[in-house]
Amino acid sequence: MTQSDTVFVQPAYSEAARQMLARKPQLFINGAWTDSSHDALIEVEDPSTGKVVARVADASDKDVDRAVAAARAAFDDGRWSALPPMEREKAMIRLADLIDAHADELAELEAIDNGKPKTMAAAVDIPSAVSEIRYMAGWAGKLNGETAAPYAVPGGKFFGYTLREPVGVCVQIVPWNFPLLMACQKIAPALAAGCTLVLKPAEQTPLTALRLADLVAEAGFPAGVINVVTGYGETAGERLVRHPDVDKIAFTGSTDIGKHIGRNAMDTMKRLTLELGGKSPVIVMPDVDVAEAATGAASAIFFNSGQVCVAGSRLYAHRSIFDRVLEGVAEAAPGWAPRPALDPRAQMGPLVSGEQLDRVMSYIAAGKRDGASVVTGGDSPSDEGYYVNPTVLADVNPQMSVVREEIFGPVVVAQRFDDLDEVARAANDTCYGLGAGVWTRDLAAMHTLAGKIKAGTVWGNCHAMVDAALPFGGYKQSGIGREQGRQGIEPYLETKTVILRL
């Protein structure tokens, strides 16, 4: 089937999904569903149709304050942090099992809410969310401090050791591109460390976070440990970040808002981790199997409609194979033709919102104005829903906005290079530093580039491979701190040093 044959009809929702969409808008505070203090609502759209399918609460200042107070009380009385770590681990495993047991329903909700294909949500988002929780649960009982012999005083006179303590009340603000996965990636280390939290999903995609709250209640977490508040960033998010009773902020989203949050958090010196934007390079060396590398480069940008912080949005292919790589990516594009999220054939869905559609289309227009040529795609194939065809731009230069800025859509810019040092320089010519893909069988080239590229993750012969055990985060303006792995729990712990005179 070619792109133009696609019919943009979203299949019917399941009964379980319809029930969820019809629910009374409420917030999950102190272990119970509760009404907002006012009746403002946020409309939830299905991006596959552009139609409003649900309404959720638009948390007021009072609601935010109640959620923070619940998390504060739950932290301060030790109902979570003072539990034996094994009990925290068990509760987390129960939650992971419940998510697993509801995987099909959650995948459908994610597809309806975000527009990503249900098959992708079922293959990636939900199992990854589960593994984030399972992995971090295992750390709950392994967070010991250290003993250290003093360095500058005589031995036997002093004794020192460290304690690791939970940092306190965490505010966790997540974006709309992997809603449940990002939520679980955030709550998992906080819970393992003994923190309590308020989770705010993105206003575009609140559904799975709300369903997660049901599962939190079912898993038997003490009241107030996990609170879920739906609301807008500039109101609820802003108030959460500035709240004096909050100890730590974890945020994933745009670099601009990350900077703004950082400034707000500093007023009360909150602990801060930021996972922000990227403009990740994909480098194809001359020795590769071109067909395989081109398929990989296409997935690197078209997966999740390019709405991925590590999307491989800058393609650099060696001059000797550039034309063939470009052709290969263009040939892969029809396989990524967007379809409604519940269409079982969909590899790629629409963008999340009309706002994102406008943003992506205006980048494509700017690229064309600047002289880029469209190898494939470049258009929106339907008047309803927020679809953009997979797009490849060539004849670009490093000054163009399509090369410099995060587009967050299925748009890749392709450039040639001649040698390794040149491509390393080009890859690093960005304010971002989140990820990079290198395609080669040449071990020396692989390791040399892995060393030269300034990015939090470098992939070899794959892209966007993420695992709960491996630290993830950004260099430069792609963020502060790391999530996942042992390093991912550190930001949720304070270190206390105890020094005793003997």
Query: Which residues are designated catalytic?
Result: 275, 309
Cβ proximity to ligand NAI, 407 vs 489, nearer residue: 407
Q: Is 73 exposed, middle or buried (0-12, 13-18, 19+ CB in 10 A)?
A: middle
Residue choice 29, 95, 309, 464 for contact with ligand NAI (CB under 6 A): 309
Q: Do residues 201 and 230 make contact, with C-beta atoms less than 8 angstroms apart? A: yes
- Of the candidate spans 33-41, 57-65, 172-180, 481-489, the one that interacts with ligand NAI by CB under 6 A turns out to be 172-180
Residue choice 23, 55, 79, 359 for contact with ligand NAI (CB under 6 A): 359
Q: Does residue 386 touch ligand NAI according to CB under 6 A? A: no
DSSP codes, 218-260 = HHTPPTTSEEE----IIIIIHHHHH-TT--EEEEES-HHHHHH
Cβ proximity to ligand NAI, 81 vs 227, nearer residue: 227
CA end-to-end span of the chain, whole Å? 79
Q: Burial code of 384-418, b = ≥16 C-beta within 10 A, e = fewer? A: ebbbbbbbbbbebeeebebbebbbbbbbbbbbbbe
Taking CB under 6 A as the criterion, which residues in 32-91 touch ligand NAI? none
Q: Does residue 340 touch ligand NAI according to CB under 6 A? A: no
Q: Does residue 476 touch ligand NAI according to CB under 6 A? A: no
Backbone angles phi, psi at 200, to 5 degrees: -120, 110
Q: Does residue 406 touch ligand NAI according to CB under 6 A? A: yes
Closest distance of CB 214 from ligand NAI, Å: 20
d(CA 248, CA 241): 9
Q: Does residue 361 touch ligand NAI according to CB under 6 A? A: no
Taking CB under 6 A as the criterion, which residues in 190-209 touch ligand NAI? 200, 202-203
d(CA 186, CA 191): 9
Sign of CA dihedral 212, 217, 221, 224: positive
| Closest residue to ligand NAI in the complex (CB) | 233
Question: What token pair was written down for 280?
Answer: 């990740």
Cβ proximity to ligand NAI, 55 vs 359, nearer residue: 359
Residue choice 115, 166, 189, 277 for contact with ligand NAI (CB under 6 A): 277
Closest distance of CB 279 from ligand NAI, Å: 10
3-class DSSP state of 134: helix
- Which DSSP letter does residue 14 get? P
Number of residues that bind ligand NAI (CB under 6 A): 27
- Of the candidate spans 54-62, 212-220, 254-262, 294-302, the one that interacts with ligand NAI by CB under 6 A turns out to be 254-262
Q: Does residue 241 touch ligand NAI according to CB under 6 A? A: yes
Place of tokens 């802003």: 238
* Binding positions for ligand NAI, rule: CB under 6 A: 173-177, 200, 202-203, 232-234, 237-238, 241, 252-254, 257, 260-261, 276-277, 309, 356, 359, 406, 408
